[in-house]
Amino acid sequence: QHFLHNIEQKRHLNAYLQVYDQEALQLAARLDEDRAAGKPLGKLHGVVIALKDVICYKDHPVSAASRILQNFTSVYNATAVERLLAEGAIIIGNTNCDEFAMGSTNENSAYGKVLNALDETRVPGGSSGGSAVAVQAALCMVSLGSETGGSVRQPADFCGIIGFKPTYGRISRYGLIAYASSFDQIGIFAANVPDVALTLEVIAGPDDYDSTVADVEVPAYSTATNSLPATLKIAYFKEALESPALDNEIRDNIFSLIDRLRADGHTVEPVNFEYLDYIVPTYYVLTTAEASSNLARFDGVKYGFRTPNVDKNLALTDFYKSSRSDGFGWEVKRRIMLGTFVLSAGYYDAYFTKAQQVRQLLVEKTNMVFNQFDALLLPTAPSPAFKLGEKMDDPIAMYLADIFTVFSNLTGIPGISIPLFWHSNGMPYGLQIMTNRFRELYLLQLSNQWM
Ligand code: GLN
């Protein structure tokens, strides 16, 4: 009732697409009865959770904030959802996002933009903007988002909360609508680290329905005590912190933090990162290629929206064309075309193969860094939340806002944004921390210590 009341008060933020009010209340009542009857309680007993509109919840609408999935209902539960429900969580609704998770501001939704609750003239970040605002404005306790290139960490940074992306292969993608399959992971928003740890513990781990989930042990993240060594070896990318694209205050604050860490006895060293200029292009070549293939299934026949202009003389290809033209928004169409271009016979080697080679170099760089260091620090984004509409006419400027987050998606390592700072413009921003693959426990312990 508390959260439903808050949601009602904050309708204008447009964070939720659907609220399952009656259902949530009924489930809450049933959970109360279980408790009164002394039944064993799940790990998430009564925890109120929101799902980004790209995660399937059986018999509930899921649209990826796209017209092309209008009136589509999930026919099964995502594995993550199945596991949340099994531990007594209450799913209160699904949240707004950029269409097919493509965007950095949540302005690409077919259902309108989401407002940042701390300053309603600013964007909440994206693509998981609705899930971020749902936690920011206390419209739920924890929310799930998805990450292909920063879509959880960046909105968390813009909203002043925690955003966590696990290692690629830590959480099942079964029931997560695909954007770029070799990048996509479900991520978690929360107000404190223990909430992230507990949620991760519940949803992580091997799944028969997703062969890309690694068969590695899932630690008991929520009960692990802080056992960090007193002094750590920490790296930062020199070119990133010196980049002219980075807001000066953010740079200064991160350098001051580095000074404090050194004063506490930690080793913090710059590492050369000669690939900074290549990561955004590499990310956009590879993700648009995968997206153009993944989104081919939306043809007006199998799911959701179908062009109303059907007559018996319409050729099949024209029918597809008409449904896809009307069903997809501009940004999604731009990416399908880009992806189709980089995969086309004449350009495949020049773009796709080259980008894969760069991805391999980045993986090697990651291995090198984590052979020597425990953690890697970066800003989460080059600036705090910008004004609504500010970057809408300039897709390249929008893409460049992803410069510090896409590295971990290209290399598969886990990353987190923790809200440590305030900008003089009144907006919060975070510190991004990354560790080696499958070292989430360490990442969470470190974050908890520093928050
Ligand atoms: N801004 C990135 C993009 O538009 C983030 C996407 C994501 O992580 N889903 O591709």
Averages of pLDDT over each 10 residues, the chain, 451 residues = 98 98 98 96 98 98 97 97 98 98 97 98 98 98 98 98 98 98 98 97 98 95 78 96 94 97 96 95 98 96 87 87 95 97 95 98 97 97 96 86 96 98 97 97 94 89
**In contact, 158 and 132? CB cutoff 8 Å:** yes
**In contact, 362 and 411? CB cutoff 8 Å:** yes
Confirm whether 323 is a catalytic residue. Answer: no
CA distance 69 to 63: 5
pTM: 0.97
Confirm whether 43 is a catalytic residue. Answer: no
97 lines ligand 1 (CB under 6 A): no
**Chain Cα centroid distance, residue 266:** 30
Nearest residue to 105 (alpha-carbon basis) of 331, 406, 420:
331
- Report the phi/psi class of residue 157: left, alpha or beta, with left for phi > 0 and alpha for psi in -120 to 50: alpha
Structure tokens at 52: 């980004």
Candidate list 63, 66, 128, 151, residue with the active-site label: 151
**In contact, 21 and 139? CB cutoff 8 Å:** no
Interface ipTM above 0.95: yes
Q: What distance in angstroms lies between residue 389's CA and the mean position of ligand 1's atoms?
A: 17
Which residues neighbour 353 within 8 Å (Cβ) at sequence distance 6 or greater? none
Confirm whether 127 is a catalytic residue. Answer: yes
CA distance 354 to 360: 10
CA distance 10 to 334: 33
Q: Kindly give the pairing relationship between strand 185-190 and strand 90-95.
A: unpaired
Candidate list 66, 109, 127, 447, residue with the active-site label: 127
Given this model, what pLDDT does residue 339 score? 98
323 lines ligand 1 (CB under 6 A): no
Place of tokens 């060594």: 229
Q: What distance in angstroms lies between residue 401's CA and the mean position of ligand 1's atoms?
A: 10
Q: Which atom of ligand 1 is nearest to the CA of 287?
A: 10
185 lines ligand 1 (CB under 6 A): no
369 lines ligand 1 (CB under 6 A): no
Q: What distance in angstroms lies between residue 434's CA and the mean position of ligand 1's atoms?
A: 18
Which residues neighbour 75 within 8 Å (Cβ) at sequence distance 6 or greater? 56, 58
| Rg over CA atoms, the chain | 21
Given this model, what pLDDT does residue 397 score? 83
150 lines ligand 1 (CB under 6 A): yes
Given this model, what pLDDT does residue 225 score? 66
SS3 percent helix, strand, coil of the chain, rounded to 5, is 40, 15, 45
Q: What distance in angstroms lies between residue 149's CA and the mean position of ligand 1's atoms?
A: 5
CA distance 366 to 87: 35
**Chain Cα centroid distance, residue 215:** 23
- Does residue 127 have a cis bond before it (omega within 30 degrees)? yes
